[in-house]
Each structure stands twice: as C-alpha cells, then as structure tokens.
C-alpha cells in the first residue's frame, strides 16, 4: 500500500483516476468529458492544524488529516440528452463520494483543452467557406495552411453568449521539409470563428493589412498576400548562416551533489529553507508552507493570472486578449523540461499529473525543475587596514517551470536565496504574435519586425498571489515611503532629514506603486517585535515598477481584467479564492469574483489572515530584435526580510575559495603584445 500522502501532495495518478471513477459512478449512463482533475487544497483551518503538528514534531498516525479532495471539472451529457452540461464537483477520494457539486451557470465557460483545439483545427479544415478563403489567397507552391487556435477574447455586446473558438492562420513552407519551419513569418489575414455547440465555422473575419492611415475596415488582399513575406527561421538546421562557432562550453558541476534535498516528491529542504511544491493545471508550480530556520514566512505562493491584451485598434483584434491561466490552464501547457537545456548543474525534475482524453490520470514528466545556481557576490567586506577580504557567493535554489502558449513562452521561477529572500521571476520569450501588413507600410499600433509581418503592441499583466504567514497567519500590510522634509530649526535644521512614512492598510483595497516616493510594501506581524530594532517582524515586497493595463475604462479588455488596475491588492483570505481575475475568464465581459470584487467586501485587514496580490504589467511594443524569437524580457518581484531576523541570515555562509576557478591563460589572453 502506498504511504499516506501529505495533504499538500498533488493527486497521484491513481487518485486522479479514482476521482474520475467516482464522477462516472455519479452519472450512470452519461457521456462525460473530463477537463481537469486536480487536488482541492484543504481548507486553511484544517491544513494549518496538521502543519502545526508537523512543524512541532507532534505528528502521529492519529493526527487528524484533511480529507483528500479532488476538484473535478467536466461536461456531462446525461442519458437521453444531447446537450453537454459543464459542472464541477469536489470528490472525497478515500470516502469515495461527491461532497459538493455545482452546475455552472452558462454565463461562465469552462477553460479550454487541447482536444478542443484539435476539434477546432479539424472543423476549419473541413469547412468549405474556410477552404474557399484560403484558395483565394493562391498560396505559393508548397505552402501549407497552419491553424493556430486562440481563445475568443471578450464577447462583444453584439455576441451571443455561446462557446466560440477563433484561430490565427499562417502558412508553412512545406518545401523546406521541416515541420519546425517558422510559419509565423507567413500570416494570412483571416480569423475563422467556430461555434463549439454546432462545431461549425460561423464567420470568417477578414483582417485589414494596411498601415496607420489606411483605415480600419477590411482591405484584405487576396492572391499574393504572402509575396512580400520572407522566411525567418529559428531551428538551427534552417538558419542561413548556421549557428555561431565561438561559444565554448560553460559547465556547472557539483561534485558532491546538490545542497538541496527532496523528499516524497514535494518537500524541499535547502539552506534553512523548507517548503513544499505542487503542480496544477491552472497555476503550474505552487509553493506551500514556506519556513526558514523553523519560522513560518508564507502559506502559499503562486502566479494567479495573466492577461495579454493586444492594442491593434482594428476589429477584431480587440478579441486578442488571452487569460493564460484562466482561459487555458497553463499547467496544461507546461514544457517537459530537458536535462542540459533549461538549467545547468545537478537537477531534480518533478512530474505532474494531467488527465488524458478519457479522464484517467497520466504522468506529465519533468514539468518542474529544481536546481542551484550561483548569482554573483552575496556579501563582501574588506578591512582596508589589514587587507583581509571576506566574500561569500550568492547561491540560489531555483524552482522553475516553463509554459508554451501557442507562439509565446514564459519561464517562471521561484528563486530562494541564503539571506532569507525570495525572488519570483517571469521571463517572457517565444515568438511575438504577428499579422500581415502590406509592403512598405508601417502602423502606430505595432512594429514591422520582418517583411510583411507586423508585431502588434500588447501588454502582459501578471498577477502573483502571495499568501503570507509571517510568524503566524495574522499579518498586516502597510506601505512605507521616504519623503522630503523642509528645513525646520527644530526637526530638520540642515535639511538632510527625510521622513519615512508608514501607512497601514486597514481594510481590503487596491494600491499602486510609487517609485518616486520610494514606496515599498511590507507584510508584518504586529504582535511580534524584532528584539533588536523593536519593530514588528516583517517581509518587504518590491514589485516591478510597471504601468497598469492601458485599455480604456469602458472597454471590454479593461473590464475583464480589472485586477490589472492596481499593482497591489490586499484581501482577507477565503478558502479556494485563488484567482485574480475570477474563476472564469474565458469569453468574460467583466471580471467576476476576482480581486476587484474581493476588496468590495471591505474586510478589516489589520492582524488578519491577509492575502497580497502583486500585479505587474509588461508593456511590449515589439522591437525588430524580438523576431523571430525574442530574447527574454525579465521581470522580478523581490520578497525579502525586513526586521524578521536578528541579523543578516547569510552571515554564516562559508567564504571559502572556489578551487575550480582558473586563470585565463595565454591561449585566449595575450597580455604581452598589443594587437596594434
């Protein structure tokens, strides 16, 4: 018998399949399409009771354990019906029963699945009207049509509330005989739209291909629309000049193995840190129950949502607004990471579990990687009197996952350092989304990044959900600013003083950054004072200094992503309230149940169980250098101790010399002879 899983273990393959079977039993004779089966994390009250016992060493076989619950999302066509009904259930796996069940209002749409995407592609391919449109383009010989399914942005006021799919259409040069040729270089100016219920193409939107002054109405080219496009490849065997030859190997070796330990597939211990990792289809990797040196810091840490609205004003591009977590579930899009490619050194991979087409659990291998890296100097001091230098390196533990969303990728990493800090990083890379533009034209809403290829301006609004537990679950958020003071004989006689102003957040609300005021956000436990400074123990959050989502306030783009209208949200914790833009984002017209609604509860947030949401919005006006694959654009949220510890927590990091480092020798570096 398998050992009892920790309450924070993701569902195993077996548990997933058991949950599926319980649902099948609950719908005798029905035809069921399973979308998601994943761990429903225990209510916090139950889980913390268990974790408290665990951390205090009181855990025994009789300690009450939260039930193993699965959240199952599925469409069921009941016996005698032909209509699939989307519903969600909570299943007690050991109790073998459904403990909660809900038919989801048709106002909301289930998130997308890969099989649905495949259906869309098939429907397009069979559609005479779609094929007719393609035929009119008279593609160059050897070119094949590629259909890229996309979520159907926000519903327009005129749209009926049905389930739609849209697709961007490209052409691949099959004569290259390489399935990985970059078809994005050849965009076709149509977007087919499918009605899911009837599996038929209901409309084909024709896209304008002009420049700034050519109007927004359709000027679709027919024949020859790709004549001015040129291939732009990224797979090495297709690169015209091949790859550069002068990059010599750089290896990370760890002869004694890594410094971390992973137990039971989800407990990570490293350098006084101890936390758990789970993986789910919506958020990807989730960090739980974070302790440092036995003290609690965070209850849970995960990316919650991302919205990517495009700014091309020509209809129907306002419907290019993906919610990459809510619409599709980025866990489904997690890359299966490969040794020696996605990180260096000694690497531990964790697998995930997804459901296959018939709802059974299936392994998703290597969806998370864990490794250590060196990040330069951690601290240094030289006593100039004696010349003695003491320098320590900054070692980091990285928990990383990578997702591919059609053309684009994100590299997400939680990086723990030795000084009690956590850096949460998002790297945007992949292929920017492009549309066809007429030869010689340019457009204010994008940049021509390749011949005939316009990369549209867009934004990425990320939301990181931080559920703190600073020495306990009752915490208080405040912000702190450093502000100028006038000269005053009593308080500031020489004018060098500035004021450090603290503003506690007393009720749930949304807040903005203010870099010119040096505004930082603190999460403190006001009940526990630092014995050295006398100030409450706390952690500081340094959000990226970005702008907010720019769409007009009465636009659909704006209203379905209300979470992106503040940089910081402070809410009072509720079980299962994890999603910044609400549970249902697909085809939404307005954010419902997201942070913008949560704060309306006006709950007190002083020494309460609070949650902090950090939204940062990368405005991406593409450069030519972003084509055909963009170099990473890096955003970082830093979460680090502020009077939490009694001294630099990394003061005991060894300053020993790294014996493997070497002097560059004469082969590369001739210091005797000038080149001139």
In angstroms, give the least distance from the CB of 361 to a copy of itself: 17
Selected catalytic residue, list 184, 408, 479, 584: 408
247 binds a copy of itself (CB under 8 A): yes
Q: 83 or 664, CB closer to a copy of itself?
A: 664
> Residue 644 to residues 52, 100, 174, 526, 532: CA-CA distances in angstroms?
20, 41, 60, 11, 10
State the binding string over 535-554 for a copy of itself (x if CB under 8 A, else -). Answer: x----x----xxxx-xxxxx
**80 Cβ contact partners less than 8 Å away, ≥ 6 residues apart:** none
Residue 408 is among the residues annotated as catalytic for this protein: yes
Query: In terms of Cα–Cα distance, which of 428, 419, 463, 488 is closest to 632?
Result: 428
- How many angstroms separate the CA atoms of 352 and 333, rounded? 12
Q: 128 or 553, CB closer to a copy of itself?
A: 553
Q: 22 or 449, CB closer to a copy of itself?
A: 449
478 binds a copy of itself (CB under 8 A): no
- How many angstroms separate the CA atoms of 167 and 84, rounded? 23
Q: 342 or 577, CB closer to a copy of itself?
A: 342
CB atoms within 10 A of CB 45: 11
> Residue 248 to residues 186, 251, 347, 663: CA-CA distances in angstroms?
35, 10, 22, 16
Q: 54 or 603, CB closer to a copy of itself?
A: 54
Tell me if 596 sits within 8 A of 615, measured CB to CB. Answer: no
Out of 15, 283, 324, 342, the only residue in the binding site for a copy of itself (CB under 8 A) is 342
Site for a copy of itself in 607-626 (CB under 8 A): 619, 621, 623-626
For the chain, state the CA radius of gyration: 27
343 binds a copy of itself (CB under 8 A): yes
Q: What is the DSSP letter of 535?
A: S
> Residue 505 to residues 253, 473, 497, 502, 638: CA-CA distances in angstroms?
47, 16, 26, 10, 20
- How many angstroms separate the CA atoms of 550 and 508, rounded? 24
Query: In terms of Cα–Cα distance, which of 322, 324, 404 is closest to 587?
Result: 322
643 binds a copy of itself (CB under 8 A): yes
Site for a copy of itself in 449-468 (CB under 8 A): 449-451, 457
In angstroms, give the least distance from the CB of 581 to a copy of itself: 17
Out of 27, 530, 590, 597, the only residue in the binding site for a copy of itself (CB under 8 A) is 530
217 binds a copy of itself (CB under 8 A): no
**Among 27-35, 416-424, 569-577, 589-597, which window interacts with a copy of itself (CB under 8 A)?**
416-424
* # binding residues, a copy of itself (CB under 8 A): 200
SS3 326: coil
Bridge partners, 169 (sequence order): 147, 188
Residue 14 is among the residues annotated as catalytic for this protein: no
- How many angstroms separate the CA atoms of 636 and 640, rounded? 12
Q: Which two three-digit tokens encode residue 12? A: 């195993």
**Among 186-194, 202-210, 354-362, 646-654, which window interacts with a copy of itself (CB under 8 A)?**
646-654
In angstroms, give the least distance from the CB of 467 to a copy of itself: 22
Site for a copy of itself in 45-104 (CB under 8 A): 54, 59
Query: In terms of Cα–Cα distance, which of 153, 171, 75 is closest to 116?
Result: 75
526 binds a copy of itself (CB under 8 A): no
Tell me if 96 sits within 8 A of 47, measured CB to CB. Answer: no
Site for a copy of itself in 647-676 (CB under 8 A): 647-655, 657-665, 667-671, 673-676
State the binding string over 150-179 for a copy of itself (x if CB under 8 A, else -). Answer: ------x----------------------x
Out of 150, 260, 273, 563, the only residue in the binding site for a copy of itself (CB under 8 A) is 260
Q: 197 or 498, CB closer to a copy of itself?
A: 498
In angstroms, give the least distance from the CB of 224 to a copy of itself: 20
In angstroms, give the least distance from the CB of 532 to a copy of itself: 5
318 binds a copy of itself (CB under 8 A): yes
Bridge partners, 113 (sequence order): none
Q: 31 or 442, CB closer to a copy of itself?
A: 442
Out of 30, 556, 562, 615, the only residue in the binding site for a copy of itself (CB under 8 A) is 556
Selected catalytic residue, list 173, 289, 312, 324: 324
Out of 48, 278, 321, 635, the only residue in the binding site for a copy of itself (CB under 8 A) is 321
Torsion on CA atoms 9, 13, 19, 21, rounded to nearest 10? -170
Alpha helices in 395-532 (DSSP H): none
State the binding string over 176-195 for a copy of itself (x if CB under 8 A, else -). Answer: ---xx---------------
In angstroms, give the least distance from the CB of 298 to a copy of itself: 17
- How many angstroms separate the CA atoms of 225 and 181, rounded? 19
Query: In terms of Cα–Cα distance, which of 367, 200, 391 is closest to 281?
Result: 367
311 binds a copy of itself (CB under 8 A): yes
Site for a copy of itself in 347-406 (CB under 8 A): 347-349, 370, 372-374, 376-386, 388-391, 393-395, 402, 404, 406
- How many angstroms separate the CA atoms of 510 and 512, rounded? 7
Tokens 């490209």 — which residue?
Answer: 170
In angstroms, give the least distance from the CB of 22 to a copy of itself: 24
Q: How far is CA 667 from the centre of its chain?
A: 44
Query: In terms of Cα–Cα distance, which of 402, 420, 419 is closest to 411?
Result: 402
Catalytic residue ranges: 324, 408
């Amino acid at each position: 018998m398998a050992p009892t899983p920790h309450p924070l273990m993701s569902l195993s393959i077996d548990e997933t399949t058991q949950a599926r079977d319980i649902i099948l039993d609950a719908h005798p004779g029905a035809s069921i399409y399973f979308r998601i089966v994943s761990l429903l994390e225990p209510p916090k009250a139950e889980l913390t009771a268990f974790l408290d016992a665990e951390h205090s060493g009181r855990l025994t076989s009789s300690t009450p354990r939260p039930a193993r619950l699965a959240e199952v999302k599925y469409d069921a066509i009941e016996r005698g019906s032909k209509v699939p009904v989307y519903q969600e259930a909570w299943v007690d796996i050991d109790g073998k029963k459904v403990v909660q069940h809900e038919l989801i209002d048709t106002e909301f749409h289930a998130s997308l699945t890969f099989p649905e995407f495949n259906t869309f592609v098939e429907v397009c391919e069979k559609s005479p009207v779609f094929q007719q449109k393609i035929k009119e383009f008279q593609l160059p010989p050897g070119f094949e049509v590629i259909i890229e399914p996309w979520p159907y942005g926000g519903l327009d006021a005129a749209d009926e509330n049905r389930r739609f799919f849209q697709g961007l259409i490209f052409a691949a040069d099959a004569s290259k005989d390489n399935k990985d040729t970059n078809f994005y270089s050849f965009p076709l100016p149509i977007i087919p739209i499918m009605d899911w219920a009837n599996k038929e193409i209901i409309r084909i939107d024709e896209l304008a291909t002009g420049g700034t002054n050519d109007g927004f109405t359709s000027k679709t080219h027919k024949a020859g629309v790709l004549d001015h496009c040129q291939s732009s490849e990224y797979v090495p065997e297709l690169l015209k000049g091949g790859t550069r030859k002068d990059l010599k190997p750089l290896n990370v070796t760890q002869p004694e193995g890594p410094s971390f330990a992973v137990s039971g597939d989800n407990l990570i211990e490293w350098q006084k840190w101890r936390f758990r990792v789970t993986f789910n289809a919506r958020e990807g990797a989730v960090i739980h129950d974070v302790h440092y040196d036995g003290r609690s810091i965070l209850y849970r840490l995960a990316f919650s949502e991302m919205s990517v609205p495009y700014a091309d004003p020509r209809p129907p591009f306002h419907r290019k607004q993906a919610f990459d977590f809510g619409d599709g579930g980025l866990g489904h899009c997690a890359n299966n990471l490969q040794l020696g490619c996605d990180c260096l050194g000694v690497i531990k991979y964790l697998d995930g579990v997804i459901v296959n087409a018939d709802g059974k659990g299936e392994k998703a291998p290597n969806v998370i990687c864990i490794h250590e890296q060196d990040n330069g100097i951690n601290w240094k001091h030289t006593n100039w009197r004696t010349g003695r230098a003491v320098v320590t390196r900054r070692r980091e533990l990285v928990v990383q996952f990578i997702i591919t969303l059609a053309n684009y990728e994100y590299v997400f990493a939680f990086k723990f350092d030795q000084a009690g800090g956590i850096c949460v990083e998002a790297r945007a890379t992949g292929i920017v989304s492009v549309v066809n533009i007429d030869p010689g034209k340019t457009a204010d809403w994008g940049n021509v990044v390749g011949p005939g290829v316009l990369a549209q301006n867009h934004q990425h609004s990320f939301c990181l959900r931080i559920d703190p537990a600073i020495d306990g679950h009752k915490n208080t958020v405040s912000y702190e600013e450093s502000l100028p003071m006038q000269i005053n004989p009593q308080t500031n006689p020489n004018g060098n003083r500035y004021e450090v102003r603290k503003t506690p957040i007393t009720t749930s609300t949304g807040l903005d950054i203010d870099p010119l005021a040096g505004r930082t956000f603190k999460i403190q436990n006001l009940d526990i004072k630092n014995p050295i400074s006398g100030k409450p123990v706390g952690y500081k959050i340094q959000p990226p200094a970005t702008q907010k989502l720019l769409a007009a306030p009465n636009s659909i783009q704006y209203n379905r992503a209300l979470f992106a209208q503040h940089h910081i949200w402070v809410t009072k914790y509720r079980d299962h309230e994890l999603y910044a833009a609400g549970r249902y984002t697909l085809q939404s017209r307005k954010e419902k149940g997201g942070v913008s609604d949560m704060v309306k509860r006006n709950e007190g947030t002083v020494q309460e169980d609070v949650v902090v949401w950090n939204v940062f919005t990368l405005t991406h006006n593409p450069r030519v250098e972003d084509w055909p694959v963009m170099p990473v654009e890096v955003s970082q949220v830093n979460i680090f101790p502020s009077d939490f510890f009694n001294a630099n927590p990394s003061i005991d990091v060894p300053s020993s010399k790294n014996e493997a480092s070497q002097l560059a020798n004469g082969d590369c570096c001739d210091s005797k002879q000038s080149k001139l």
